[in-house]
Amino acid sequence: MSDPLAAQPYSDPPYRSQTFNGMTVEGFSRAAMQTYWRIPQLKLGFDCGGHPWEFMNTPNWFISHTHMDHLLALPAYVCRRRMMKMSPPTIFLPAQSVHLVEKLFDVYKHLDHGRLPCQLVGVQPGEEYVLSREIVVTAVETFHSIRSVGYIVWERRKRLKPELQKLPQEQIRQLAVSGQEVSVEVRFPRAAYLGDSTIQGLDANPAMFEADILIMEMSFVAKRHRGDKLRRYGHVHLDDVVERREKFRNGVVIASHFSTRCPDREIKRIVTKRLPDMLAGKLVLWF
Ligand SMILES: [Zn+2]
Ligand SMILES: [Zn+2]
């Protein structure tokens, strides 16, 4: 079969792409407009408010919550994979929304006169989902105006048990042959996705501050957007990030999902004034 992705000469909808230490982040996120991200090397994406044609070959999607701007393109994505004869994708989403998405797909099946083959997996905070021998994703609780979850993507490796490290190779081999477990699993948080949440979503899940790549929302940056509304709607303000500036031990912190009430230039000006070192150069404002 010819490559369906090669046939598309333009990108629609738009997205930005940037590589950090061998991992590429691609996506777009603006509050109330649309949000979609993927990390091709990990074979997964987060949220599906829009779906660029090129994102079609990513087979696993993790939905943070069901606000329209994070979900709208999901049926189109599933349909495209079927049309292009790709395997049915796996979609992870908050457990309480699964039956509603099934209903939505059911309506679309009638409208489109076509099947929407996929596996819908309801996730619960605290549970983990195995994507491959190396990659495991955990769902974590976040705090938004509707039920929402965040995700942490772990790379797991086997390491020789510390107490065996001084033994000669041959002895270790014999222990292994005799059926004794000689290795332990170690995990590294390669990526974390906050979705829409107040800053409590990070505070409650400290591994998010350790992930190589943290993709977080920072919907509001201006002084005029501080206050009660922010908490009621369940979003992060720049103030929250400034207060926790020492806590971010990530390789890169991608801030996104900016309110459309603030133009890009103003966001840049305010953030660079409040965080002149941009979290030691790790903070990326994603427009
Ligand atoms: Zn949103
Ligand atoms: Zn939302």
Q: Is 82 exposed, middle or buried (0-12, 13-18, 19+ CB in 10 A)?
A: middle
Q: pLDDT digits over 196-226, tens only? A: 999 999 999 999 999 999 999 999 998 888 8
Measure 160 CA to ligand 2 centroid, in angstroms: 43
Measure 202 CA to ligand 2 centroid, in angstroms: 16
Measure 219 CA to ligand 2 centroid, in angstroms: 10
Measure 226 CA to ligand 2 centroid, in angstroms: 18
Q: 116 or 222: whose pLDDT is higher? A: 116
State the angle between helix axes of 74-83 and 98-112 in degrees (0 to 180), rounded to the nearest 10: 50
Q: pLDDT digits over 15-50, tens only? A: 999 999 999 999 999 999 999 999 999 999 999 999
In a domain, 122, yes or no: yes
pTM for the predicted model, two decimal places? 0.93
Measured CA to CA, the distance from residue 123 to residue 90 in angstroms comes to 12
Q: Looking at residue 192, what is its pLDDT?
A: 98
How many CA atoms lie less than 13 Å away from 57 in the CB half-sphere?
7
Residue 7 pLDDT greater than 70, yes or no:
no
For the record, the structure tokens of 148 come out as: 């929402």
Q: What is the mean pLDDT of residues 140-147?
A: 96
Measure 65 CA to ligand 2 centroid, in angstroms: 7
DSSP E strand boundaries for 90-249: 90-94, 119-123, 128-130, 135-141, 149-160, 183-193, 213-217
Residue whose tokens read 């000469």: 9
In a domain, 30, yes or no: yes
> What average pLDDT does the structure give for the chain?
94
Q: Looking at residue 38, what is its pLDDT?
A: 98
Residue 58 pLDDT greater than 70, yes or no:
yes
Measure 91 CA to ligand 2 centroid, in angstroms: 18
Q: pLDDT digits over 145-161, tens only? A: 999 999 999 999 999 99
In a domain, 221, yes or no: yes
Q: Which ligand is nearest to the CA of 233?
A: 2
In a domain, 254, yes or no: yes
Number of domains in the chain: 1
Q: Looking at residue 9, what is its pLDDT?
A: 60
Measure 139 CA to ligand 2 centroid, in angstroms: 17
Domain of 247? Answer: 16-282
Q: pLDDT digits over 118-128, tens only? A: 999 999 999 99
Q: Looking at residue 52, what is its pLDDT?
A: 95
For the record, the structure tokens of 91 come out as: 């979609």
Measure 30 CA to ligand 2 centroid, in angstroms: 11
In a domain, 128, yes or no: yes
Q: Looking at residue 174, what is its pLDDT?
A: 93
Question: In CATH, what number is assigned to the domain containing residue 139?
Answer: 3.60.15.10
In a domain, 1, yes or no: no
In a domain, 10, yes or no: no
- For residue 10, name the pLDDT band (cuts at 50, 70, 90): low
In a domain, 137, yes or no: yes
Residue 2 pLDDT greater than 60, yes or no:
no
